[in-house]
Structure 1
Amino acid sequence: MTQAALSPARSPLLDTDVLRTFVAIAECGSFTRAARQIFRTPSALSMQIKRLEETLGHTLFVREARQVRLTPEGEVLLGYGRRLLKLNEEAVAQFLAPAMVGRLGFGTTDDVGSRILPGVLAQFARSHPAVQVDVVVGSSRAMLARLDAGELDLVLVTAGNPGQEERGVIVHSEPLVWTGREGGVAVQRSPLPVALAHQGCAWRGMALEALSQAGLSYRIAYTCEHSAGQEAAMIADLAVSPFPQSLVRPPLRRIDPDLLPPLGEYQLALVKRPGADPACETLVEHVMRAFQDF
């Protein structure tokens, strides 16, 4: 038997340009909008997708009147496509981008750090291994003050804090919800015991406004600048607290929305120092991408 007969058939390779087209269409929901985004004609995109579907042996899009949506196979490919494009960018940057050295100051609030920092810092280290990143955790007000003083290059802060001007770009938005311990009784007490951040925090303002508008009797039982302090008070069943929905995990639970008034949306803004260097721009891209995948 020949060597060729013993070797398995080679799998077809996915073209990066075609993958970029596929991801653009999936994210835009339209061949026309994707064509404008990547500066090609819709017919050219259609031909690329047709060849991709023939290569994989599956239909990737369901064509509807004014939009397209992914098939189950298309949804699977989208995850792979994004990862392959990201790896391709990192590989190119590793060999073609000029080497960068120095230090970069990144400030964030504590409720954000545990969620995205590990992945963001790992990606940045791969693309800029010689750049030292100094991470500072604190209140939004303190982070912005240090940015303005030139001590930090980039900060991720809560938007909408009282007296805080609109700055940067909103990178994340999610519901702020009333939270307490699973099976706890704090929510049944009157006046309602609440755990809040210090003055000047958007969460605090949203909670107090909602309770006042609803005419509910409450008392501020605990205050802490960091969300970990509010979480500790809730776990001990000493109070309820406004909390981002994505941070609610056992033994905490979201309180029945019928029991307490709605709080609205909580937003995060990314603010960079004017004149920041290219390394900072790369970190900005990693942070924004992390929230897209969040």
Structure 2
Amino acid sequence: MSRSSSTAHAGPLPLLDTEVLRTFVAIAESGSFTRAAQQVSRTPSALSMQIKRLEDTVEQRLFVREARQVRLTPEGEVLLGYARRLLKLNEEAVTRFLSPPVEGTVRFGTPDDLGSRILPGVLAQFARTHPAVQVDVVVGGSVAMQRRLEAGELDLILMTAGTAGQVASQGEIVHTEPLVWAGREGGVAAWRSPLPVALAGQGCPWRDRALAGLDDVGRAYRIAYTSEHCAGQQAAILADLAVAPFPLGLVRPPLRQLSREVGLPALGDYHVVLVHRSGAGEASEELAGHVVKAFRELRR
């Protein structure tokens, strides 16, 4: 199917179908025709026909099918970059003419551990679809964010909560994740007595749950470090000076999840809650939709 790129194409160049490109990107990102079919609400056989048509159009083989996955050919990798840009440009053009203009400023508060995972993608996407809206981001602890929202200083916040019951009247649960004990790979902090722990300030649900759990199992501890930001707690873990309650999704080498064998209590799940200020306006609602979508994609 491959042909030399120097060969001139006779007649007008063919146009790439955006729906087919969307299918192509879904397969490339998921590594599976079956998973991609679920994302785009089509059958795997329909996706195969679309990819065959796309390969005929560009006169290149785009995927190599293996036993349990599919992978891109070198030509497919090149096309993936073009496909993503074309889909983004199509979205911008359609949004420009079909969506009513939204203007203004959204004041958005988030803890650092949540913002670092979703914020870059959310802000990039929101800027493309709502270029006239300014987003002011404030990073801080959940308790501080909630106070500023209640004072009218923020329009939209993300905060953490220990139980679903705690947030029933506050906002929408957008993400649930295990909370685990984290230490440094090969470290000895978890075996020290009293146990050195790194925690956030008073009122943090992670802090409350960790201390209550340690009290329940009778493990002696001392609060060695306090920081409102995960980065501060992570620094103490990396230095092997303390252990800390941490979201499972942030436990990456050289951090490791500590097992129950070292006498640490289970911490269960925690919830991420999206809270709106009443009357914050349309721009805030639009940004909230992007945040919800980002967490949905994070779970895939």
Aligned to 1:169: 172
Contact 1:162 / 1:202 at 8 angstroms: preserved in 2? no
Letter in 2 for 1:156: L
Residue 7, structure 1, aligned to residue 8, structure 2: yes
Instruction: Compute the TM-score of the two structures, normalised by the length of structure 1.
Output: 0.73
Q: Return the match for 1:232 from 235, 241, 244.
A: 235
Q: Which 5+ residue runs of structure 1 have no aligned equivalent? A: 36-41, 60-69
Letter in 2 for 1:209: A
Residue 218, structure 1, aligned to residue 226, structure 2: no
Q: Return the match for 1:242 from 232, 245, 256.
A: 245
Residue 131, structure 1, aligned to residue 133, structure 2: yes
Aligned to 2:258: 255
Cα shift at 1:20? 7.7
Q: Return the match for 2:285 from 271, 281, 284.
A: 281
**Structure 1 residues 71 and 163, CA gap change in structure 2 (3 angstroms):** closer
Q: CA RMSD in A?
A: 3.9
Aligned to 1:158: 160
In 1: Cα distance, 2:289 partner to 2:89 partner = 14
Q: Return the match for 1:113 from 112, 115, 124.
A: 115
In 2: Cα distance, 1:180 partner to 1:102 partner = 44
In 1: Cα distance, 2:85 partner to 2:293 partner = 11
In 2: Cα distance, 1:55 partner to 1:135 partner = 41
Q: Which 5+ residue runs of structure 2 have no aligned equivalent? A: 1-5, 27-32, 56-60
**Structure 1 residues 137 and 11, CA gap change in structure 2 (3 angstroms):** same
In 2: Cα distance, 1:11 partner to 1:152 partner = 51
Letter in 2 for 1:103: T
Q: Return the match for 1:270 from 270, 274, 287.
A: 274
Letter in 1 for 2:284: C
| Higher alpha-carbon deviation: 93-102 or 266-275 | 93-102
Contact 2:167 / 2:173 at 8 angstroms: preserved in 1? no
Contact 2:178 / 2:269 at 8 angstroms: preserved in 1? yes
Instruction: Compute the TM-score of the two structures, normalised by the length of structure 2.
Output: 0.71
Aligned to 2:99: 97
1:52-98 per-residue CA deviation (whole Å, 9 max, x = no partner) reads 66666999xxxxxxxxxx97479x9xx99999766543331134333
How many residue pairs are counted as aligned between the two chains?
272
Cα shift at 1:158? 0.6
Cα shift at 1:185? 1.2
**Structure 1 residues 21 and 193, CA gap change in structure 2 (3 angstroms):** same
Aligned to 1:65: none
**Structure 1 residues 73 and 83, CA gap change in structure 2 (3 angstroms):** farther
Q: Return the match for 1:206 from 201, 204, 209.
A: 209
Letter in 1 for 2:220: S
| Higher alpha-carbon deviation: 255-264 or 265-274 | 255-264
Contact 1:193 / 1:238 at 8 angstroms: preserved in 2? yes
Letter in 2 for 1:242: P
In 1: Cα distance, 2:297 partner to 2:14 partner = 27
**Structure 1 residues 231 and 48, CA gap change in structure 2 (3 angstroms):** closer
Contact 1:162 / 1:205 at 8 angstroms: preserved in 2? no
In 2: Cα distance, 1:83 partner to 1:288 partner = 23
Contact 1:18 / 1:49 at 8 angstroms: preserved in 2? no
**Structure 1 residues 55 and 223, CA gap change in structure 2 (3 angstroms):** closer
Contact 1:154 / 1:280 at 8 angstroms: preserved in 2? yes
In 2: Cα distance, 1:223 partner to 1:197 partner = 5
Cα shift at 1:244? 1.0
Contact 1:12 / 1:55 at 8 angstroms: preserved in 2? no
Secondary structure of 1:274's aligned partner: coil
**Structure 1 residues 14 and 284, CA gap change in structure 2 (3 angstroms):** farther
